[in-house]
């Protein structure tokens, strides 16, 4: 793999490749390192040539990576995988790249002939941190209500079925709260839809502050919100009543107005007869309807 006597143009082109190509032997030695010229994506790995991965990488990561190398050598085919690496833990190279935790995709392919008497693979390493960040943002947007920043209806129903199964398997309690803003249309009509949007954002913020991170809050649609709790009915009623009073006491400033709002709340608890989330949602919705019938600004359950 020596590059002595190599054509200067070819040598220059190899050094300018933005992503690193690494020839790794079956014992973990870096037999050759080419490229990695893009400093915004990579530290400079050239000094790793001739060193063993177990000497400059943390043991757990080195073992993980070499398991992939041995898999490629055994199966004699291309193998791709993704991994996250804290680049500051890599020993023996200048820290002149992006630094911190970075995501990479590795594409490993077995070489046909031994190098220096050892079986080896060639690995193309690609920094995919930006791609991962973009995918994470897309995932978040697909499950988040854009106005209130809490979960949306789609995410709630996915979580409902999953948590319902877990609760039934572990015999844990589960309850659902459904609530909406009393006379919300009147707020929109009197102060405008921007005021209505502001009220919904404030309600979501209050709910996020009042309930724990394990209690899933979602916007169900319009001015209606739903909360999924791993608690028994009596505890859920207490939490709901406390939240109702907290909402009622708020003074919400919008433009030159100081607004107030109240909420009606319906609650239902998971039973042994509930095989999916439909029944518990239906019962909570009916309880909400009774709360509105009985004068609003109250908690009902059933």
Q: Which of 223, 255, 276, 285 is catalytic?
A: 223
Alpha helices in 192-296 (DSSP H): 193-210, 233-249, 278-293
What values do phi and psi take at 178, rounded to 5? -120, 130
Nearest by Cα to 278 from 161, 115, 124: 161
Show Cβ contacts of residue 41 under 8 Å, excluding neighbours closer than 6 positions. 18, 19, 97, 98, 127
Show Cβ contacts of residue 116 under 8 Å, excluding neighbours closer than 6 positions. 1, 25, 31
**Angle 57-58-60 from CA coordinates, rounded to 5°:** 120
DSSP assigned state of 84: E
Nearest by Cα to 178 from 202, 160, 197: 160
- C-alpha distances (whole Å) from 177 to each of 110, 146, 228 are 57, 21, 7
Instruction: Please give the structure tokens belonging to residue 171.
Output: 């015999």
**Torsion angle (degrees, nearest 10) of CA 31, 34, 37, 41:** -60
**Torsion angle (degrees, nearest 10) of CA 135, 137, 141, 143:** 70
223 annotated active-site = yes
Residue environment code for 258-276, b if the CB has 16+ CB neighbours within 10 A, otherwise e: ebebebbbbbbbbeeebee
Residues marked active site are found at 223
């Amino acid at each position: 793999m020596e590059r002595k006597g190599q054509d200067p143009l070819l040598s220059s082109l190899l050094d300018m490749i933005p992503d690193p190509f690494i020839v790794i032997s079956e014992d973990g030695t870096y037999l050759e390192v080419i490229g990695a010229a893009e400093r915004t994506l990579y530290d400079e790995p050239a000094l790793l040539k001739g060193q063993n991965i177990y000497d400059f990488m943390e043991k757990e990561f080195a073992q993980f990576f070499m398991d992939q190398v041995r898999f490629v050598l055994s199966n004699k085919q291309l193998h791709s995988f993704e991994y996250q690496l804290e680049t500051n833990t890599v020993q023996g190279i200048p820290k002149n790249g992006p630094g911190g935790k970075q995501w990479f995709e590795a594409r490993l392919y077995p070489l046909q002939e031994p190098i220096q008497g050892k079986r080896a693979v060639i690995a193309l390493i690609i920094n995919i941190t930006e791609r991962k960040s973009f995918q994470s943002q897309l995932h978040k947007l697909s499950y988040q209500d854009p106005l209130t920043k809490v979960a949306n209806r789609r995410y709630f129903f996915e979580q409902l079925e999953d948590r319902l199964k877990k609760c039934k398997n572990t015999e844990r309690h589960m309850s659902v709260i459904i609530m909406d803003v009393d006379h919300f249309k009147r707020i929109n009509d009197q102060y405008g839809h921007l005021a209505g949007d502001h009220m919904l954002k404030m309600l979501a913020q209050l709910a996020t502050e009042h309930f724990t991170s394990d209690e899933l809050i979602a916007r169900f649609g319009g001015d209606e919100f739903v909360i999924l709790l791993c608690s028994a009915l009596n505890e859920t009623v207490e939490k709901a009543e406390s939240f109702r009073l907290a909402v009622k006491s708020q003074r919400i400033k919008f433009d030159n107005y100081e607004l107030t709002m109240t909420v009606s709340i319906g609650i239902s608890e998971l039973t042994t007869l509930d095989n999916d989330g439909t029944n518990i949602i239906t019962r909570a919705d009916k309880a909400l309807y009774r709360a509105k019938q009985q004068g609003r600004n109250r908690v009902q359950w059933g």
